[in-house]
Amino acid sequence: MTRYIYLHGFASGPGSKKARYFAVRFQELGLELHVPDLAEGRFETLTLTGQLKVVERAADGAPAVLIGSSLGGYLAALYAARHADVKQIVLMAPGFGFARRWPQTLGANTLAEWERAGHLNFYHYGAGKELPLGYQLISDGLTYEDYPAVTQPCLIFHGKNDDVVPAGWSAEFAQGKPNVELLLEESDHELLNILEPMWLRMQQFLF
């Protein structure tokens, strides 16, 4: 039986607005949407490698459909590129090039200080407070490709006004790939104003 898995974004968690919205929509269809805590309660030691292991445990050896938001979208693509048993992926403002975008996100000086100190505080939306995060997230992240070689059917939603992950990253990923459908939306990084239209299109894509 196919397992449907939702992957939340950076400094977020299973209780995010999109995760809760889609869990209810799947429930209405009689399906369970698995929403693992990708940090497993250990945000300070977060790495992409560790999060991919969480996805693997959530899939539990079954055929899987992955739905990912932001960093979760990038993780979904990374995982799908490495696991042929992933059937389809839906990406929302996927964070392609995650580790390599941090100099633009934080600035070179702050990034260098993070590396020197070993930790930097980030506001964690799931916890509702600032939490320390180790630099291993970046050093580990740099070992992964910006654009995973996804061969499965892939649907991407990306806001035209996304100032966190510019839509150009998704456009470059989708270019020349017949298996990828990119929908550029009148929205921002959160995509919260188009939840219902996304769900309608997602149903057509998945079912």
* Per-residue model confidence as pLDDT tens digits over 141-183: 999 999 999 999 999 999 999 999 999 999 999 999 999 999 9
158 occurs within a structural domain = yes
Burial classification of residue 199, based on how many CB atoms lie within 10 Å of its CB (0-12 exposed, 13-18 middle, 19 or more buried): middle
Structural domain including 190 reads 3-96+149-206
173 occurs within a structural domain = yes
Segment 27-31 shows an average pLDDT of 97
118 occurs within a structural domain = no
Inter-CA distances, 87 with 38, 67, 70, Å: 21, 11, 20
Strand 129-134 with 119-124, pairing:
antiparallel
121 occurs within a structural domain = no
Place of tokens 């654009």: 147
Here the CATH number for the domain that contains residue 56 is: 3.40.50.1820
65 occurs within a structural domain = yes
* Per-residue model confidence as pLDDT tens digits over 61-99: 999 999 999 999 999 999 999 999 999 999 999 999 999
Residue 40 CB coordination number (10 Å): 14
129 occurs within a structural domain = no
Report the number of distinct structural domains present in the chain.
Answer: 1
Residues with Cβ within 8 Å of residue 49, at least 6 apart in sequence: 140, 143
